[in-house]
Structure 1
Amino acid sequence: MSAKQSVHIISHTHWDREWYLPFEKHHVLLCKLMDQLMETLEADENYKSFHLDGQTIILDDYLQFRPEMKEKLQRLIDAGRIHIGPWYILQDEFLTSSEANLRNLQYGLKDAAKWSSNVSKLGYFPDSFGNMGQAPQILQQAGIDTAVFGRGVKPTGFNNTVSDAEDYESPYSEMNWQAPDGSTVLGILFANWYSNGNEIPVDRDQAQEFWKKKLADAEKYAATPHLLLMNGCDHQPAQTDLSEAIKVARELFPDYEFIHSDFDHYINQVKQSLPKDVKVVNGELRSQHTDGWGTLVNTASSRIYLKQLNQKGQAMLEKVAEPLASLAYLAGEQYPHHLFSYAWKTLMQNHPHDSICGCSVDEVHREMVTRFDKSRHVAEMIIDDSTAALTSRINTNAYRPYGEDAIPFTVFNTSGWMRTGVVTVELDLERQYYAKGVNRLELLNICTDNRILIDEHGQEYPFALTDLGIQFGYDLPDDQFRQPYMARKVRLTFEACEIPNLGYKTFAFVKAEKPSVADTLIHHPREMENEFFIVHFEDNGSLTVTDKMSGNVFTKLCVYEDSGDIGNEYMYRQPDGEKALTTEQIKAEIRIIEDTPFQAAFEIVHHWGLPSRASEQLDSEQSQLVWFTARKSQRVQETTPFTIKTIVKLEKHGKGIDVTASFDNQVTDHRLRVLFPTEIDTHCHYADSIFEVAKRDNQPSSEWKNPSNCQHQHAFVSVHNQEAGLTIANKGLNEYEILRDGKNTIAITILRAVRELGDWGYFPTPEAQCLGEQTVHFKIIPYGNGSYTDAYQFQIPWVVKQASLHDGDLPLTQTSLEWSGPKLAFSSMKVAEETGDVMLRWYNLSDEQETLAIPQPLTFYKSNVLEQESTKLENEISINKYEIVTIGLKKKESSRP
């Protein structure tokens, strides 16, 4: 190192939009901060700049209160005094979807560009609870070559010694962070946290002591002569006397160069001084080389209802609304960018780490539920408009020979792969509008049992019908007043087969003699079977599943486990010495509830008694701020009845077993999981993560002390070897653990009930006990040598739209895009606002090159995550290992709708 080291002081505030206070209270504090900051910047020319925490939403929030300050704010941004971007919000990376992480960057950069052409190009992750492995690739594609982060890596040896030991990811704060595809960015860890330069003293004696410690701490980790001091912390007001504090520091420590710096300058200096021995850290950064008590991974199971709402909201936008709006766009409709912007931003306002992680006060999470609803309602309107536009263009006259009362309807498959599955649709057999008069008797007399269900080739499909009677409805025409009506409605359930990917198939409910169908999937009172599986129900309600393709048998699936939890919203903590309770020795009630040619279902009921709560000692320990690892509280002996109803479904052509579990939680301070012993011999497993299926070790590192080894997942977790595999897909159940029980059991958390926020104070959160009715969904997918397609499709709801008999320029069945690439996962289909091109995204799941083949005569090009046009492509594209690839399709040259 050079004789004179540089101390880069970067002013900032880590602005949690909501956390220990509800949003509007933090909102008021933000207004005060921004007023004070701008006043300081204008009054003190030596106060060089301020980093606005990477969130462009802060600008919107501030101007809600202070629209008159926009010009002043603009001047300071133009002058480089306030640094903004690139994110819209500071998200939790592991609890937000792949596409949500990209939309965060896309909307953040777009909004920042409205203010300045000099947007901060920094991968800013100051407080994410772990960092996604594909971040370097995403950042590189966005033109960003540096990331700073506060968690995920243990950089030093024992007792803070800078070490070259192999047990630690890096001996320095600085490292090269590499994604699975090989993309690399400079990674800088806030080794002394993002507040190590907070409240720098002006008093000389205090400054002497402050700087002596801070400089020594920074030097322990720095690989270059450039030391980083972050002047700020959570909701920290700007330090108005910082210029004077820096002047005092220069006088006291003349051997150091003190600079009121910014990230651009600091990173540029670091890059010029990096030593050759900077380590490479690979993929996910999840604090695995620690004692395991500080990973904050159990936020994945705090307030699971939020995760379920988030999964549904994300899927409705990225997997349903965007593809359908794109299909409608290709058919000539306008793409509603403005609606998507509102829906995505409203959804992403729930994605900051203290929000989606469920680790805030109760008021925060009440407001989140409203935001989830608002975003989803907009998505539902987009979906309805898009399907209405498409069905109006489909030529349904092929069904007219069956009679003028034939009822066509279209099933849309918005996933990237052909899909077969059980679909439910509600149909109006007849409508009578109030304007023309309603005859209820006439509606009641409509026959419902003289129809069959067919496709365009006349093939009949068995179905189940539920008569819904007479119901009120209304139309909202674009050119006239609302039109209320009464309708005779029925609900059809059937198995829709081979619906084209990113496309649709149109069926019709027509009058004809209804054939008798005696086919069944149930040949035993405790068993159901299709071409892939035999599912047997044991006396305790567990499942024995035989994979007919491979011959593998999985036993004791779906046993429930309950344990005490004396931790908090951040971390699970089981009481000392407690043994978990299970349903393994409980006799269950088992009955058949559905038996059709296309689907069978059993209901399992467990009547259980669980300890009612933790002892009163927990109240005392929490109020006295006893750290959760030191708590001695136990669960009480008193029990509360706890009933779990489990519905297990098997479809005729289903490659997995759908499970829905419901219960009324009246027990506090506990965790409920469902167990799947795999008995598969392997040292690793695979979990769906951000643009990758991450490979993770079953055993934690040697440093790990936490008895629990929970991890994050998105769509699924999978354990497999060459002979057998078991994948458990889920909807909004983001926490799992591979138990160290000799069986490689997959444990999925379906409820965690706690009573406090945790962290730096005592914040009771009674609503985090999640009392009341709860329902969870997961899918068991055994396989010998299968894919993850079914697990991805499990996330995506079917969309069905009733049509009428009419002419049209679209066929009854259509796919918008034929493609192949066995090792690829399809991620999204949307329209770029700037170019009007249709953007399609895949990612390579494997460590081998794969070919994406698109046989249609289309004009397309390779893009990046920001949807910028680059290389024109042929019909086959080579995709590198673990690469995220975005393809732009020119609409005007497309020969297909």
Structure 2
Amino acid sequence: MYQKHTHVISHSHWDREWYMPLERHRVRLVELLDTLIELFDNDADFRSFHLDGQTIVLEDYLQIRPEKRERLIQLVQEGKLIIGPWYILQDEFLTSSEANIRNLLIGHRDASQYGAVSKLGYFPDSFGNMGQAPQILRQAGIDTAVFGRGVKPVGFNNEAKGEYESAFSEMYWQSPDGSTVLGILFANWYHNGMEVPSDPTEAAAYWQRTLQNAEKFASTPHLLLMNGCDHQPVQTDLSKALQTARNLYPEVEFIHSNFSEYIRHVKDTLPKQLATIRGELRSQRTDGWWTLVNTASARVYIKQANQRVQTHLEKAAEPLAALAALTGHRYPSHLLTYAWKTLMQNHPHDSICGCSVDEVHREMMVRFDKSIQVSEQIVEDSLQAICSNIDTAAIFSEDDVPFTVFNTSGRQRTGVVSVDLKVKTIPFGKYGREETIELLKSMPIEHFTLKNGSGTLIDAQIEDLGITFGYELPKDRFRQPYMARSVRVRFLAQQVPALGYRTYALCPSASNNSLAMIAEATTAAVTSDDLPRLENEYLVVTIAENGSYDVTDKRTGRTFSGLGVYENSGDIGNEYVFRAPDGDVPLTTSGLTAQIRTVERNGFRHMIEIVHEWHVPSGGDERLEQEIREYVPFLERQAQRSRQTVPLNIITCLTLEHGVPQVNVKTSLVNHVKDHRLRVLFPTDIVSDVHYVDSIFEVAQRQTVPAEEWKNPSYCQHQQAFVNVRNETNGLTVSNLGLNEYEVLRDSRGTIALTLLRAVQELGDWGVFPTPEAQCLGEHEFSYFLIPHGAEEGAIDSYAAAYQAQIPWLTVQTSVQSGDLPAEHRFLGWEGAGLALSTVKLSDSVGAGAGDHLIMRWFNMTDKPTDLQLQPISGTAGSPFKSNVLEEAGENLSFHDNIPVRGAEIVTIGVKRDFKKGK
């Protein structure tokens, strides 16, 4: 009878790109898999290999070795090669909620094409783990997760001491909704069984040390040894090495195992009492230096690009393509999959975290461009398909120029929209070039007015764009170029329906006294007679001489004072970790005198520009470069900031739109500064032990003050769309576009510090890897939003506004035509207190058939149960059904009935598509 059972699992953690660019790593991947296939052919005792939980490694390999596909399929079906469940090993906190789901969905689909999907929640090296992972995994039929970070076990003879999360490497992990999985921590990391010696003398010393380390944390006699590490070549003599171990330790069973076998034995022998850890695993109970949270601010331009592209895909391309399909248009699932895969190739943790060499991040920007180009074409085609069915002839005349504004968010929306319109087009060849230009130039545009579908005049700003070139690409003939007279129209689109649209038109007018014509925006310096102040129905913004501003919420009477001060600190850390020089005192703009001027003021918005002319240290001193070259650990560095200063001039634009209870802020600068961090500060003057932040499918409640074990002076954390500080009566939500790092300061004012830029010069981690482009020199622009609110219900509304601010307005010019759709329409009607709409798309082929079902997903932003009411949807057939993250059909439901939703639950609903309306 064996006393211990040692499960050795062969693997290689495959960072697709990191300290070398993609193609250099790929060469080694090809060598690894070639060797592995040969080993399977020649060693019957080498039982299996875990291919790192991500299917993209197969794509990367087969691009070089397409002839090996059938052999890979055979190995997967024989259980020798373990693949999935993910497409890539993502950073969970820096990719959106839906991106995490697409990753799981596409990973399942791709793995199933090889014959088997690993049902294991595999998170070996995520820089923290999302709190909703157990719920997502459970919905995907997965009941166990393994992970390398986020929890610190006690170990040491399994004695539970202090307040650490778990005494063992095994624990239960529970999501906020109550979903629970078995969690297994790589307590000795995922390399604790690498390079097993086959020589008896070396093996004796190796196993004495290795077994002892594994036993410290295990709650059962089954020990996990991971035979591999980052880019580790396969150990070809493992079978011989394990036989050596069996000879040395006959009382221990040595198994060349896999996760399914290991987990089955662990479950059979678990102790009755295991700790239950709840929610996010962010290494809260550590010294705080190795959470790697500051990757959220490394190369911020990467995060901004990611936010733009993933939002465009999930909140524009997918819902519009789905709505177009309900009107009879073909759903481009193949194009969406390509766009998602291209985007997700930027989502591995060492890629999206910005902690790789410069070559990696240059290639990422190309992928972002490729993905959004496909997404934009899908949006354009979908808008045209929908608008071809809108009846505009009933409300507009032949000379009018109609266009439609789409709101693809889950709630009704008001805001300023900008649309470029062609008021006259002349095809190439109809006239000569000079005659065409003359005809277009002579066309009067000063008498246009803007009207809505009811014929009401809309206040607008109309800008003449002059003569423009354009072209059409018909589906049935050659390209059609033309010249046009174009204008840009800006106006306040009010109460545009959720997942719907409103139609407007630019209309000729005999008079130039129309409300619609504003030739130019107002631009003027602010004087004592023109107070620096913005105001609408909800808010008053007053600007001080130093460029900070106060925001008063008329609804509550609460004023938030001294907002918008910029803070600049030195940073002698790296792409992973922020570290200020010893004794560094942050500089701020609070003592500067700012230049303030009105940029625009009209009937629908007011914009004021604030300019700070600021000088800060140019970078780290010479000692920093020396310490980096000599591989001095960042915690031991003595470098300081340079005494030389350079300009850091900052332009801030504040915008207040009519009818919108939020302040839109845009910060622009040209960065000439190295080795520094720039933040903007928002004191709330609310003292609270907790604050609230948008995380993955949840509004997470986090502690403002760290645990006693925390030593790092900084307590920065991840966010997605927003962070909120509030009390029982009011609060402030700060939303952002692609700014994933924040800190709620322990300064007695409850200040939200939003990181705008962090500039460093090295990768960090295990060697010396210079990354000069991580200094982020050059032009930058940052967008964020301030949303004051009242009591708890107001906080929920502010969250919804923050989600909505992520989503672009979408517009399309149409024609005067007949159609089946009205000029204003809402495709999807739903109600649900506390719910946020997360996705609208057609089904993927993993669950319901590809394109067969309309899929909708919500999540409960609160911990309180609620109900979802869903109205019948045109273009669908039959009743809705409860689904899951894999889009599988479940319990049948009914329209109009209350669908119960647990606190923090992710709920997916499917409805069969009506194929009478299209393919």
**TM-score of the two chains, using structure 1 as the length reference:** 0.98
Match of 1:885 in 2: 907
The 5 Å alignment of 1:862-877 reads 862-874=882-894, 875=896, 876-877=898-899
* Equivalent position to 2:559, from 553, 564, 567: 553
Question: Does the 8 Å CA contact 1:656/1:781 hold for their aligned counterparts?
Answer: yes
Structure 1 consecutive aligned stretches of length 4 or more whose deviation exceeds 4 Å: 516-524, 893-897
Q: Secondary structure at the match of 1:774?
A: strand
Q: Secondary structure at the match of 1:10?
A: strand
Match of 1:760 in 2: 766
Match of 1:9 in 2: 8
Match of 1:130 in 2: 128
Distance 1:518 1:816 in 2: 33
Shift of 1:156: 1.1
The 5 Å alignment of 1:362-377 reads 362-377=358-373
Question: Does the 8 Å CA contact 1:399/1:408 hold for their aligned counterparts?
Answer: no
Shift of 1:804: 0.6
Distance 1:714 1:310 in 2: 11
Match of 2:819 in 1: 808
Shift of 1:164: 2.0
Q: Secondary structure at the match of 2:99?
A: helix
Structure 1 residue 783 corresponds to structure 2 residue 799: no
**Structure 1 residues 53-80: Cα deviation after superposition (integer angstroms, max 9, x where no partner):** 0111111110111111122222211211
Distance 2:239 2:497 in 1: 64
Shift of 1:165: 3.2
Match of 1:189 in 2: 185
Equivalent pairs: percent with the same residue?
55
Match of 2:448 in 1: 451
**Structure 1 residues 174-204: Cα deviation after superposition (integer angstroms, max 9, x where no partner):** 0000000000000000000000000001111
Question: Does the 8 Å CA contact 2:32/2:233 hold for their aligned counterparts?
Answer: yes
Shift of 1:895: 10
Q: Report the aligned-residue RMSD.
A: 1.7
* Equivalent position to 1:837, from 824, 841, 853: 853
Residues 896 and 853 (structure 1), Cα distance of their counterparts in 2 relative to 1, 3 Å cut: farther
Match of 2:307 in 1: 311
The letter for the 2-side match of 1:456 is: G
Distance 1:435 1:646 in 2: 47
* Equivalent position to 2:674, from 653, 668, 676: 668
Question: Does the 8 Å CA contact 2:390/2:823 hold for their aligned counterparts?
Answer: yes
Question: Does the 8 Å CA contact 1:399/1:406 hold for their aligned counterparts?
Answer: no
Question: Does the 8 Å CA contact 1:399/1:508 hold for their aligned counterparts?
Answer: no
The 5 Å alignment of 1:38-187 reads 38-116=37-115, 118-156=116-154, 160=156, 162-187=158-183
Q: Secondary structure at the match of 1:397?
A: coil
Structure 1 residue 414 corresponds to structure 2 residue 420: no
Distance 1:740 1:764 in 2: 34
The letter for the 2-side match of 1:821 is: G
Shift of 1:460: 1.6
Shift of 1:856: 3.0
The 5 Å alignment of 1:531-542 reads 531-542=537-548
Match of 1:602 in 2: 608
Residues 99 and 70 (structure 1), Cα distance of their counterparts in 2 relative to 1, 3 Å cut: same
Distance 2:110 2:70 in 1: 16
Q: What are structure 1's unaligned runs of at least 5 residues?
A: none
Shift of 1:894: 10
* Equivalent position to 2:490, from 488, 493, 508: 493
Distance 2:160 2:458 in 1: 66
**Structure 1 residues 273-327: Cα deviation after superposition (integer angstroms, max 9, x where no partner):** 1101210000000001000000000000000000000000100000010010011
Residues 870 and 9 (structure 1), Cα distance of their counterparts in 2 relative to 1, 3 Å cut: same
Shift of 1:642: 1.2
Q: What are structure 2's unaligned runs of at least 5 residues?
A: none
858-867 or 820-829: which moved more?
Answer: 858-867
Structure 1 residue 482 corresponds to structure 2 residue 460: no
Q: Secondary structure at the match of 2:656?
A: strand
Distance 1:223 1:283 in 2: 22
Distance 2:638 2:241 in 1: 45
Distance 1:742 1:303 in 2: 31
The letter for the 2-side match of 1:41 is: F
Q: Secondary structure at the match of 2:762?
A: coil
Distance 1:421 1:893 in 2: 36
The 5 Å alignment of 1:623-662 reads 623-662=629-668
Match of 1:250 in 2: 246
Question: Does the 8 Å CA contact 1:450/1:511 hold for their aligned counterparts?
Answer: yes
Match of 1:796 in 2: 807
Shift of 1:515: 2.6
Residues 280 and 778 (structure 1), Cα distance of their counterparts in 2 relative to 1, 3 Å cut: same
Question: Does the 8 Å CA contact 2:88/2:347 hold for their aligned counterparts?
Answer: yes
Match of 2:395 in 1: 399
Question: Does the 8 Å CA contact 2:880/2:909 hold for their aligned counterparts?
Answer: yes
The 5 Å alignment of 1:29-44 reads 29-44=28-43
Residues 548 and 680 (structure 1), Cα distance of their counterparts in 2 relative to 1, 3 Å cut: same
Question: Does the 8 Å CA contact 2:418/2:490 hold for their aligned counterparts?
Answer: yes
Match of 1:24 in 2: 23
**Structure 1 residues 425-447: Cα deviation after superposition (integer angstroms, max 9, x where no partner):** 00001011113124211111111
Question: Does the 8 Å CA contact 2:325/2:918 hold for their aligned counterparts?
Answer: no
Structure 1 residue 424 corresponds to structure 2 residue 418: yes
Q: Secondary structure at the match of 1:221?
A: coil
Question: Does the 8 Å CA contact 2:449/2:516 hold for their aligned counterparts?
Answer: no
Distance 1:289 1:800 in 2: 48
Match of 1:338 in 2: 334
Residues 783 and 400 (structure 1), Cα distance of their counterparts in 2 relative to 1, 3 Å cut: closer
Question: Does the 8 Å CA contact 2:446/2:517 hold for their aligned counterparts?
Answer: no
The 5 Å alignment of 1:721-740 reads 721-740=727-746
**TM-score of the two chains, using structure 2 as the length reference:** 0.95
Distance 2:19 2:603 in 1: 53
Match of 2:594 in 1: 588
Shift of 1:3: 6.0
Structure 1 residue 563 corresponds to structure 2 residue 569: yes
Match of 2:466 in 1: 469
- How many residues align structurally? 891
Shift of 1:681: 2.2
Question: Does the 8 Å CA contact 1:671/1:752 hold for their aligned counterparts?
Answer: yes
Question: Does the 8 Å CA contact 1:433/1:485 hold for their aligned counterparts?
Answer: yes
Q: Secondary structure at the match of 1:477?
A: coil
Question: Does the 8 Å CA contact 1:838/1:888 hold for their aligned counterparts?
Answer: yes
Distance 1:75 1:530 in 2: 66
Distance 1:269 1:517 in 2: 74
Shift of 1:518: 11
Shift of 1:449: 1.6
* Equivalent position to 2:429, from 435, 456, 459: 435
Question: Does the 8 Å CA contact 1:859/1:894 hold for their aligned counterparts?
Answer: no
Q: Secondary structure at the match of 1:365?
A: helix
Distance 2:104 2:83 in 1: 12
Distance 1:362 1:771 in 2: 13
**Structure 1 residues 604-655: Cα deviation after superposition (integer angstroms, max 9, x where no partner):** 0000001001011111111111111111100011100111001110000111
* Equivalent position to 1:743, from 733, 746, 749: 749
618-627 or 91-100: which moved more?
Answer: 618-627
Distance 1:15 1:755 in 2: 25
Match of 1:320 in 2: 316
The letter for the 2-side match of 1:849 is: P
Question: Does the 8 Å CA contact 2:173/2:182 hold for their aligned counterparts?
Answer: yes
Residues 896 and 678 (structure 1), Cα distance of their counterparts in 2 relative to 1, 3 Å cut: farther
The 5 Å alignment of 1:493-512 reads 493-512=490-509
Distance 1:435 1:162 in 2: 84
